[in-house]
């Protein structure tokens, strides 16, 4: 199967970028709702509808949800790209709809999506509310889970640009986890199904993004929804869509979300389970906080009346301004920056800041500065 071509044929062109709200996906849901597959299953804190989209008649029941964290939209885009496959009328669509029943909540946290926050409108992280169920969105997710009785759960998220693949210097463009179901992190039959499926997905992705797939930490936390569903005996897969070089809008990464979804369902449909799946899974390198958006090397500064060379790093903050996401770079660390990589790296060659500009290195200051050789940086990037 040519997954690149399949993606291009089915990419939902009407949605793009990082800021994805209910207003933007509602027309798509209405368009997909040809046979009453769409229902409102609850309301958010701010009374926004939470939609369930269910399609297919197969015996393998797949439960998927995205934007549990409102500012994590990449997997939602990939989900709609996949919905287009199911509506395409192709042989693949027929096969998938015959083998599977898909139940999706494509935007669990519409309030957080509108506010561009991780939490819901009550400032609660829904992924820490799986036991207390204090929030209406958490209750909706649990009610649909109990009613649908899935065979597999897909917990779809984004992760920040700080994550890389172990110490390789490559970004973690996609990361996965088969969550633990107990403190000991044992592997039972349910967790093994998730493990072997992730191993199969990784085999496919290595053909497209070699070395850019990570494995998330499996420490057990029953308050997390993936751990809860795994504890309840349902194989659960955590997807974490991360950074691809130069792709801050996550338009390239959405392709790998799409590929991961399609390849996982092909594996299940064809019962093409990876042999030695647990070994292959454990060989996926660990996700690690190893990146900054910007690293600046060898800048000369005055320290205790002496000149010395140092390094510093800046990180983007994603700020919602006038309905658009602005990527604003701020200085966050000054020092050796050992074992850290940068998505943008500048060697300043020992040049000092331009004193005439009144410049100084300060944490949490916007990354706008000028060097004595008149090289100017604006919002982290060198000004041409």
The pLDDT of residue 279: 93
Q: Which of 245, 265, 289 is the last residue of a domain?
A: 289
pLDDT at 189: 94
* Strand 174-177 with 213-215, pairing: parallel
Which of 289, 319, 354 is where one domain is finished?
Answer: 289
Residues whose CB is less than 8 angstroms from the CB of residue 126 and which lie 6 or more positions away in sequence, other chains included: 68, 69, 108, 109, 119, 120, 135, 137, 138, 141, 225
In 3D, which of 171, 291, 184 has the Cα closest to residue 227?
Answer: 184
Q: End of a domain among 231, 256, 289? A: 289
Give the total number of structural domains in the chain. 2
Give the mean pLDDT of 342-346.
Answer: 98
Separation of alpha carbons 285 and 53, rounded Å: 34
CA distance 251 to 248: 8
Instruction: Note whether 251 and 232 are same-domain residues.
Output: yes
Co-location of 233 and 333 in the same domain: no
Tell whether 22 and 167 lie within a shared domain.
yes
d(Cα 384, Cα 382) in Å, to the nearest integer? 6
Which residue range(s) make up the domain with 310? 291-382
Q: Is the pLDDT of residue 275 over 90?
A: no
Q: What is the pLDDT of residue 150?
A: 98
Of the candidates 18, 14, 39, which has an alpha carbon nearest to the alpha carbon of residue 28?
Answer: 14
How much is the pLDDT for 303?
A: 65
At residue 172, the pLDDT reads: 98
| Same domain, residue pair 300 and 165 | no
Q: The whole model's pTM is what? A: 0.96
| 274/369 same-domain check | no
Mean pLDDT in residue range 204-232: 97
- For residue 359, pLDDT over 90 is answered with no
Contact between residue 367 and residue 382 where contact means Cβ atoms under 8 Å apart: no
Q: Are 224 and 170 members of one domain?
A: yes
The CATH number of the domain where 152 resides is what?
3.40.630.10
Residue 358 above 90 pLDDT?
no
Give 64's strand partners: 104, 154
Q: Rounded to whole angstroms, how far apart are CA atoms 233 and 228?
A: 9
| 284 and 295 co-located in one domain | no
**Res. 305 pLDDT band, cuts 50 70 90:** low
- Percent of the chain surpassing pLDDT 70: 98
**Please, which residues have CB within 8 angstroms of residue 257's CB and are 6 or more apart in sequence?**
74, 75, 77, 78, 79, 81, 156, 174, 239, 241
Asked if residue 321 and residue 243 are part of one domain, the reply reads: no
Q: Are residues 79 and 25 in contact, defined by beta-carbon separation less than 8 angstroms?
A: no
> With the C-alpha atoms ordered 280, 283, 284, 287, is the resulting torsion angle positive or negative?
positive
Percent residues over pLDDT 90 in the chain: 91
pLDDT in tens, 149-204: 999 999 999 999 999 999 999 999 999 999 999 999 999 999 999 999 999 999 99
Domain containing residue 309: CATH number: 2.30.40.10
Mean pLDDT, rounded, of the chain: 95
User: What does the H/E/C string look like for the chain?
Assistant: CCHHHHHHHHCCCCCCCCCCCHHHHHHHHHHHCCCCCEEEEEECCCCCEEEEEEEECCCEEEEEECCCCCCCCHHHHHHHHHHHHHCCCCHHHHHHHHHEEEEEECCCCHHHHHHCCCCCCCCCCHHHCCCCCCCHHHHHHHHHHHHHCCCEEEEEEECCCCEEECCCCCECCEEEECCCCCCCCCCCHHHHHHHHHHHHHHHHHCCCCCCCEEECCCCCCCCCHHHHHHHCCCCEEEEEECCCCCCCCCCCHHHHHHHHHHHHHHHHHHCCCCCCHHHHHHCCCEEEECEEEEEEEEEEEEECCEEEEEEEEEEEEEEEECCEEEEEEEEEEEECCCCCEEEEEEECCCCEECHHHCCCCCCCCECCEEECCCCEEECCEECC
Span 17-70, pLDDT tens digits: 999 999 999 999 999 998 999 999 999 999 999 999 999 999 999 999 999 999
* pLDDT tier for residue 247 given thresholds of 50, 70 and 90: very high
Parallel, antiparallel, or unpaired: how do β-strands 152-158 and 100-105 relate?
Answer: unpaired
115 Cβ contact list (under 8 Å, min separation 6): 70, 121, 320
**Is the domain of 160 the same as that of 117?**
yes
279 and 298 both lie in a single domain = no
> Contact at 8 Å (CB) between 41 and 144?
yes
Same domain membership, residue 339 and residue 258: no
Q: Is the domain of 284 the same as that of 298?
A: no
């Amino acid at each position: 199967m040519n997954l690149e071509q399949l993606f291009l044929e089915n990419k939902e062109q009407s949605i793009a970028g990082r800021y994805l709200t209910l207003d933007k996906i509602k027309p798509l849901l209405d368009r997909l709702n040809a046979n009453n597959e769409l229902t409102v299953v609850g309301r958010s804190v701010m009374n926004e509808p939470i939609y369930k989209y269910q399609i297919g008649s197969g015996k393998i029941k797949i439960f998927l949800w995205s934007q549990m964290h409102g500012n994590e939209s990449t997997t939602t885009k990939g989900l709609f790209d996949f919905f287009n496959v199911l509506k395409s009328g192709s042989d693949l669509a027929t096969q998938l709809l015959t083998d599977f029943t898909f139940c999706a909540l494509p935007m669990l946290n519409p309030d957080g999506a509108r506010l561009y926050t991780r939490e819901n409108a009550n400032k609660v992280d829904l992924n820490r509310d799986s036991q207390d169920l204090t929030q209406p969105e958490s209750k909706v997710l649990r009610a649909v889970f109990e009613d649908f009785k899935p065979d597999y759960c897909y917990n779809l998220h984004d992760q920040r640009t700080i994550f890389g693949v172990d110490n390789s210097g490559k970004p973690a463009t996609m990361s996965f986890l088969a969550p633990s179901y107990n403190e000991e992190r044992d592997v039972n039959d349910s967790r093994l199904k998730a493990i072997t499926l992730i191993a199969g997905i990784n085999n496919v992705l290595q053909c497209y993004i070699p070395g850019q797939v990570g494995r998330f930490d499996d420490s057990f936390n029953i308050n997390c929804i993936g751990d809860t569903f795994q504890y309840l005996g349902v194989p659960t897969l955590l997807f974490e869509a991360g950074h691809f070089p130069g792709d801050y809008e996550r338009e390239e990464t959405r392709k790998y979300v799409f590929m991961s979804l399609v390849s996982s369902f092909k594996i299940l449909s064809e019962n093409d389970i990876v042999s030695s799946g647990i070994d292959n899974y454990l060989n996926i390198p660990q996700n690690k906080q190893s990146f900054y958006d910007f690293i600046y090397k060898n800048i000369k500064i005055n320290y205790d009346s002496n000149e010395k060379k140092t390094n510093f790093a800046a990180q983007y903050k994603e700020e919602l301004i006038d309905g658009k996401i602005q990527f604003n770079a701020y200085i966050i660390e000054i020092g050796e920056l050992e074992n850290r990589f940068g998505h943008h790296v500048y060697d300043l060659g020992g040049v000092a800041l331009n004193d005439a500009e009144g410049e100084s290195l300060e944490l949490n200051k916007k990354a706008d500065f000028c060097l004595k050789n008149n090289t100017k940086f604006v919002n982290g990037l060198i000004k041409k």
